[in-house]
Structures are given as structure tokens and as C-alpha cells.
């Protein structure tokens, strides 16, 4: 049963979410499966895998999420932004994706799930503008680190952080990022242990070291 699996998964992650949040997570899972039949939101077709590979995997980011507005780049079906927003109703979360059908789903999901802290934008990330920047920018399987940072460099606040979700330890990507001279540094790489998920998972914490140069 999904409810029991979710409760067990949250316990394994060391997370304590109230019953209302858990119900919203299950409602989100149901919406994702329903819309996926038409809108191709995720390549996962097995309903049993959605909970661990999308919900729990997204929630594994929570210990590294601080305060301040969060931008989820290439959000697709809303991962990790929507599960994080459900768990952190105090956090303003912006979801951005260039696919209008996916953004239609994200907008409807925020309405149906009662998430006033979530907004969805249909845009290429490089076309976004926010003078004050975001305190936190995350992505899951959006692009390799150099491209992720380059495309969002003008969107990070001076004291902000990038939270890049990856599979295996991205040693080559980190080396290319170090060589790219983008005025950032890798602060830490943390392994993630996600219940029922096979393979390695990591989150790469990146911080700016200089003010970006704009053309």
C-alpha cells in the first residue's frame, strides 16, 4: 500500500512529515500517474516505482534545503520541486520548464494540491530574470554541471547555493566545472541513500565565489 510504503520511506530518510503532507504527496503521485498517460511527464511507467524514484528521491534533498526562495530548473513533472514544496510549505518554490504541457501539469498540480507556495513558469531558464537572485537553485537530471551553472549563473543570489542532484559521483563533471572559470566552487558532495532506489545518488552543493559578469 502506498501510504505504508511512504511512511516507511520517510522514516528511512529520517524525515517527519505530518499526515496532511503525506496525503498531499500521495495525491501528487496519483496526479503524476494520471497525467503521465497523456503528457509523458516521466519515463517511469511502473506505478510501484514512482514513489521511491520520484517522491522519496526528491525528498532526500530536504536536509540540504535551507531558507530562501528555491528555483527548480527543468522541473518536468515537478521533481524535486513539488515534493520539497509539500514538505516545506514555508518555502517559495518556482518551477521552470520549457515544455508547455509539463508546465500546464505543474500549474494544475499546484492548484489541486493546495500549494500556494508553488509557481510554475514556461520558459527557457536562460531567458529568466530576477535581479535579487534565488537563494537556492536545484535540478535533477537537467544538464551536466557546467551547463547547469552557466545557464543559471545570473539567477543565483550572492550568498545562494546550487543543489544539483546526480546519480553516480560526478567526478568528470566536477573537473570540467573547476576548469570552466564560472566564478563558483563545489562546496561539498553528499551521497544520498534513498529507500527502494537502486544505484548511487548524490547531491552536489555549489556556491558562487564572485559576482557574475553580465554582457
Q: Annotated binding site for S-adenosyl-L-methionine, which residues?
A: 74, 79, 125-126, 140
C-alpha closest to that of 85 among 25, 15, 135, 140: 25
Q: Determine how many CB atoms are found less than 10 A away from the CB of residue 103.
A: 19
In angstroms, rounded to a whole number, what is the distance separating the alpha carbons of residues 3 and 6? Answer: 5
* Contact (CB, 8 A) for 81 and 69: no
What are the binding residues?
Answer: 74, 79, 125-126, 140
Length of the chain: 215
Query: DSSP readout, 147-203?
Result: HHHHHHGGGEEEEEEEEEEESS--HHHHHHHHHT--SEEEEEEEE---TT--S--EE
Q: How far apart are the first and last CA of the chain?
A: 54
In angstroms, rounded to a whole number, what is the distance separating the alpha carbons of residues 199 and 188? Answer: 20
Radius of gyration of the chain (CA): 17
Amino acid at each position: 500500500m502506498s501510504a505504508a510504503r511512504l511512511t516507511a520511506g520517510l522514516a528511512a530518510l529520517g524525515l517527519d512529515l505530518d499526515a496532511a503532507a503525506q496525503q498531499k504527496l500521495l495525491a501528487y503521485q496519483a496526479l503524476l500517474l494520471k497525467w503521465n498517460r497523456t503528457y509523458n511527464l516521466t519515463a517511469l511507467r511502473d506505478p510501484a516505482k514512482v514513489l521511491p524514484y520520484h517522491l522519496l528521491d526528491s525528498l532526500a534533498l530536504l536536509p540540504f534545503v535551507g531558507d530562501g526562495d528555491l528555483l527548480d530548473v527543468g522541473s518536468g513533472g515537478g521533481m524535486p520541486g513539488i515534493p520539497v514544496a509539500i514538505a516545506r510549505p514555508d518555502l517559495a518554490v518556482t518551477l521552470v520548464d520549457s515544455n508547455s504541457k509539463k508546465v500546464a501539469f505543474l500549474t494544475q498540480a499546484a492548484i489541486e494540491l493546495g500549494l500556494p507556495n508553488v509557481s510554475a513558469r514556461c520558459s527557457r531558464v536562460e531567458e529568466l530574470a530576477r535581479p535579487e537572485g534565488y537563494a537556492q537553485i536545484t535540478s535533477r537530471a537537467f544538464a551536466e554541471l557546467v551547463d547547469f551553472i552557466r545557464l543559471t549563473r545570473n539567477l543565483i543570489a550572492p550568498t545562494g547555493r546550487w543543489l544539483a542532484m546526480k546519480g553516480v559521483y560526478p567526478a568528470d563533471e566536477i573537473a570540467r566545472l573547476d576548469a570552466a572559470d564560472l566564478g563558483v566552487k563545489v562546496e561539498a558532495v553528499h551521497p544520498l541513500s534513498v529507500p527502494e532506489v537502486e544505484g548511487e545518488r548524490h547531491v552536489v552543493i555549489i556556491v558562487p565565489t564572485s559576482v557574475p559578469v553580465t554582457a
